[in-house]
Structure 1
Amino acid sequence: MTEAEVFTAVETLARNARTASYRLSQLSTHAKNAILEAMAAELRARTPEIVAANALDLKAGEEKGLSKPMLERLKLDEKKVEAIARGIDQVVALPDPVGQVMDEWARPNGMRLQQVRVPIGTIGIIYESRPNVTSDAAVLCFKTGNATILRGGSEAIHSNRAIAEALQAGGEKVGLPAHAIQLIPFTDRSSVSALCQMDKWLDLIIPRGGKGLIETVVSQARMPVIKHYDGICHLFVDVAADLDMAVALTVDSKTQKTGVCNALETLLVHSSVAESHLPTIAAALKEKGVELRGCERTRQIVEAVPATEEDWGTEYLDLILSVKIVDSLEEAIEHINTYGSHHTECIVTKDDATANAFLAGCDSACVFHNVSTRLADGEEFGFGAEIGISTDKLHARGPMGLRELTSYQYRVRGEGQTKG
């Protein structure tokens, strides 16, 4: 397809999404839950077709030389399709934030005002690799009354088509408006640029993927973008830290799962406890196969590869951890705010005053006191599900659940009040 043809096709999708969004905003919670149940049923009924479509993607991926981890993330079987359907069942059970009265008050002239949660409208989701995101993103947006345009990675195009078609077809049987869930059905790279130009029809874009994809979207989008670039998470072992807790939290934050944005990437240790605590922490990390990259003072206490300036700003997503000894809480906070990605930071300490100073000083979406960074997650926060994690400060910050997929409007009622 030419760029002009891609643009025209994407614009048609965007126009249709805007039309669908107006109808979606009027659906009751009961109606939306019935539609979600129908979507889950249709996914289950179409499992053979979805698995067959996925086999085409796997074959193409093998021919392209995709790595085994990439192929594993791409693979769907009956159990994985069932897991996607169960994910929809879980969204049915979540409270619907749309219509929630956030605040209300009356004015001296008798006007009665309410601030009420409403859908954002139309949302573009640009993502890579895992086909389950097609369903996850679509159903979370739908539960909050938003129309969705999905642009998945080329490696999962057949799987994504099959899932999106199942969701829309199943939902339409019980009242889902046409074009509520749309997938860009072609893999032309120019479709990302085209989607970013649809500010007349799209209210928001959420990119999920590598830093390169996100930077491309941010540089081109004419509408708001909610995103996070990296997950350079820190853990600071304070002078008042319990050693056993410091070991447990460091090991869990780094090794429970490495290839995720809330995994630990830099360990900061107060110089007053470095000689007493660092060897034990390092030994526990070594047992898990973690390579340490340390500052000069760290290397005088434990075995480590020399850390470079680049290491302090690197998201390894691997069994690698940079380690730095600092002389104060203030130095730890300064390091985090300088090299971090504003994602998640943790302090290990028994001193509440120090913890409070750390929480207030770190300019990050999530700041923890004696909690593993791996718990920076919408499900762990009690949101039930999340569409991603935002390191932005406006509209949404941190794990994004259903509430973060809503906006609000002011509803004002009166008895004929006028300005004059």
Structure 2
Amino acid sequence: MNSSSVQAIAKQSRLAARQLSSTSESLRNLALSKMVDSLQSAKHRVLEVNAEEVEKARQVGQSNALVKRLTIDDKVFQYMISRLNKVARRPDPLNRVLEGHTNPAGLQVFKKSVPLGVIGIIYESRPNVTTDAAGVCIKSGNAVILRGGSEALQTNMLLADAMIEGAVAAGLPEHAIQIIRTPGHEAVGELLKMDDYIDVLIPRGGKDLIKRIAEGTRIPVIKHYDGICHLYIAADAAPAQSVDLAINSKCQSVQVCNALETLLIDQKCAEQMLPLLQAAFDANNIELRGCEKTQKLLPSIAPATEEDWHSEYLAPILSIKIVNGINEAIDHINHYGSGHTDAIVTQSLNMAQQFEHQVDSASVLINASTRLSGGGDYGLGSVVGISTDKLHARGPVGPDELTTYKWVAYGNGHLRN
């Protein structure tokens, strides 16, 4: 795809964004409903084409983790639909008065929420991002340009075409949702140059992709770097609950960004807890790597290196470190963590609050699995990623996070003295 083709798409999105900015909540929700209907009609073909792309990925030797992310079966399809329905039920993120007053001269001043404009989503492997991104952008009144990975190109185009059909049938602009239909890196490179038309880029994929996007454009980027997630088991933690939370955090889905990667255990309970944890992880085929103190208690496990503390495995591997109290746990998390999701198991409210206040992460969980951090369990419905930035959005990026604000003043011939 050449420069003029990408520019044409970007220009069309800019015009669509202007029209979307003045649409009503009821029209945008109707569009989401019709997008769901169109997707349901296209379901059989989507599953058929996706199965072909999954088989091709297997034949070329793609990893099991990538194949799993690529796959849409009936359960995944219904999950995608449910997220669109949930985002439609969310309160309208637009035209909310965030603050306001009438000054002594009678000038009415207020700050209101408005769309960002045109959002470019560049992603790998996961076709569900296609529906999530379109849903969140339409709900928040933004035009969206989708650029998925070549391994799911046909699936992504079918999903996008179904949603475009539904959105247009509801009365939204023809180019509110667009998808780049050519494989290869050339189109992405051209997209990064479109700072005159695109307001924000959101890359979804590996660290190398995100770094390449962030360093290759002048367009603001909402970044989702590593998910090096920790669980700290405090000295007073209940053993059974600790095991349940550690297993769920790591094993419920090992290839996702909020899966547990490093387990921290207080030295006061390590001797009691580690054999219980090892038995549970062995039953789930998780490879354990431990610090020297951990290895003394679990001599059969491999040593953890400095690289392990920096690693987002996205695989059935877990590093374990024994720490001397909560302060050492917090220091480790803030040094090695990625600011994504970190959790504590404790019966102490004071310890929970210290952890909450001092751990510098987008999501901090108390006596809860790290796997709960995200759009669904946080009540956001669809999200377009989990930002590890602090500006503009942090944590799950849903409809509210794809808005900005403008100042508006109503006067009656008011002049500046």
Sort the TM-score into its range (normalised by shorter chain).
over 0.9
Aligned to 2:384: 387
Aligned residue among 322, 336, 341 for 1:339: 336
Superposed, which structure 2 residues align to 1:76-155 within 5 Å?
Answer: 76=72, 81=77, 83-155=79-151
- C-alpha distance in 1 between matches for 2:81 and 2:236: 47
- C-alpha distance in 2 between matches for 1:42 and 1:373: 34
- C-alpha distance in 2 between matches for 1:49 and 1:370: 43
> Is residue 34 of structure 1 aligned with residue 68 of structure 2?
no
Are residues 47 and 247 of structure 1, via their aligned partners in 2, closer, same or farther at CA, if it must alter by over 3 Å? closer
In 1, are the aligned partners of 2:65 and 2:255 still within 8 Å (CA)?
Answer: no
- C-alpha distance in 1 between matches for 2:17 and 2:85: 22
Are residues 77 and 312 of structure 1, via their aligned partners in 2, closer, same or farther at CA, if it must alter by over 3 Å? closer
> Is residue 368 of structure 1 aligned with residue 361 of structure 2?
no
Are residues 325 and 55 of structure 1, via their aligned partners in 2, closer, same or farther at CA, if it must alter by over 3 Å? closer
- C-alpha distance in 2 between matches for 1:135 and 1:228: 18
- C-alpha distance in 1 between matches for 2:79 and 2:368: 28
What's the offset of the Cα at 1:112? 2.1
Count residues in correspondence: 416
In 2, are the aligned partners of 1:168 and 1:176 still within 8 Å (CA)?
Answer: no
Aligned to 2:204: 208
- C-alpha distance in 1 between matches for 2:317 and 2:366: 23
If the length of structure 1 is used for normalisation, what is the TM-score? 0.93
What fraction of aligned residue pairs are identical, expressed as a percent?
A: 45
Superposed, which structure 2 residues align to 1:1-400 within 5 Å?
Answer: 5=2, 7-54=3-50, 57-58=53-54, 60-67=56-63, 69-76=65-72, 81=77, 83-303=79-299, 304-400=301-397
- C-alpha distance in 1 between matches for 2:44 and 2:277: 48
In 1, are the aligned partners of 2:199 and 2:220 still within 8 Å (CA)?
Answer: yes
Q: For 2:319, what is the secondary structure of its paired residue?
A: strand
Letter in 1 for 2:343: C
Aligned to 2:409: 412
Deviates more, 1:290-299 or 1:73-82: 73-82
Deviates more, 1:282-291 or 1:66-75: 66-75
- C-alpha distance in 1 between matches for 2:124 and 2:144: 16
Q: For 2:306, what is the secondary structure of its paired residue?
A: coil
Are residues 108 and 384 of structure 1, via their aligned partners in 2, closer, same or farther at CA, if it must alter by over 3 Å? same
Structure 2 regions of 5+ residues with no counterpart?
none
What's the offset of the Cα at 1:29? 0.8
Q: String of CA shifts for 1:259-292, please: whole Å, max 9, x gaps.
A: 1111111111122222233222223222222221
What's the offset of the Cα at 1:48? 4.4
Q: For 2:406, what is the secondary structure of its paired residue?
A: strand
- C-alpha distance in 1 between matches for 2:52 and 2:317: 35
The alignment's C-alpha RMSD in Å is 2.0
Deviates more, 1:143-152 or 1:102-111: 102-111
Letter in 2 for 1:22: R
- C-alpha distance in 1 between matches for 2:171 and 2:387: 32
Q: For 1:116, what is the secondary structure of its paired residue?
A: strand
Moved over 6 A (4+): none
Q: For 1:316, what is the secondary structure of its paired residue?
A: coil
Deviates more, 1:272-281 or 1:366-375: 272-281
Are residues 61 and 276 of structure 1, via their aligned partners in 2, closer, same or farther at CA, if it must alter by over 3 Å? closer
Q: For 1:19, what is the secondary structure of its paired residue?
A: helix
Q: String of CA shifts for 1:384-416, please: whole Å, max 9, x gaps.
A: 222210110012111122111111111222232
Are residues 203 and 275 of structure 1, via their aligned partners in 2, closer, same or farther at CA, if it must alter by over 3 Å? same
- C-alpha distance in 2 between matches for 1:200 and 1:89: 33
What's the offset of the Cα at 1:25? 0.7
Q: For 1:408, what is the secondary structure of its paired residue?
A: strand
What's the offset of the Cα at 1:80? 5.0
What's the offset of the Cα at 1:66? 3.3
In 2, are the aligned partners of 1:141 and 1:147 still within 8 Å (CA)?
Answer: yes
- C-alpha distance in 1 between matches for 2:378 and 2:160: 28
What's the offset of the Cα at 1:62? 4.8
Structure 1 regions of 5+ residues with no counterpart?
none
Letter in 2 for 1:396: A
Q: For 1:172, what is the secondary structure of its paired residue?
A: helix
Q: String of CA shifts for 1:119-171, please: whole Å, max 9, x gaps.
A: 11000000111222212211210111000000011111112222212211222
- C-alpha distance in 1 between matches for 2:82 and 2:365: 31
If the length of structure 2 is used for normalisation, what is the TM-score? 0.94
Are residues 126 and 416 of structure 1, via their aligned partners in 2, closer, same or farther at CA, if it must alter by over 3 Å? same
- C-alpha distance in 1 between matches for 2:71 and 2:95: 38
Letter in 1 for 2:305: T
- C-alpha distance in 2 between matches for 1:394 and 1:417: 35
In 2, are the aligned partners of 1:268 and 1:323 still within 8 Å (CA)?
Answer: yes
Letter in 2 for 1:260: V
What's the offset of the Cα at 1:35? 1.7
